[in-house]
Amino acid sequence: MAIDGTYNITIVTPMGERPASLTLVTNGTALRGKFSSQQGDQEWDGGTVNGNDVAWSNDFSGAMGQMQLDFSGTVGGDELSGTVQFGAMGAGTFTGTRA
């Protein structure tokens, strides 16, 4: 399964839905990419791939200040979905489709 690519995602946060763009690049079981939202772009690395399962963290600056977002999800075909932890702000979900 080719995980690499750009996805248009929607993140469901405690403060409502937020659109973003996510680029994933694999190298074996290593994952890196770029998270783009209205608050800007954030490149990250240090993520992991295990089959169709992906996990990564990236920093985010939003209305509540700087926080780390911890993502865990699954890629199936052109679909991506999973959960995201917003630091002390709780957790939410995300879904997306390949752009």
pLDDT digits (tens, 9 = 90+) for 53-94: 999 998 877 666 778 899 999 999 999 999 999 888 889 999
pLDDT of residue 68: 87
Structure confidence by residue, pLDDT tens digits, 5-36: 999 999 998 888 999 999 999 999 999 999 99
Range of the domain at 72: 5-98
The tokens describing 95, both together, are 């879904």
- Distance, first Cα to last Cα, the chain: 16
The tokens describing 34, both together, are 């770029």
Residue 8, beta-bridge partner list: 21, 97
The tokens describing 36, both together, are 């783009």
The DSSP code sequence of 45-89 is EEEEEETTEEEEEEEEEETTEEEEEEEEEEEETTEEEEEEE-GGG
pTM, to two decimals: 0.90
CATH code where residue 19 lies: 2.40.128.120
Domain count, the chain: 1
Res 1 pLDDT > 60: no
pLDDT of residue 75: 95
What's the mean per-residue pLDDT of the chain? 91
DSSP, collapsed to helix, strand or coil, labels residue 9 as strand
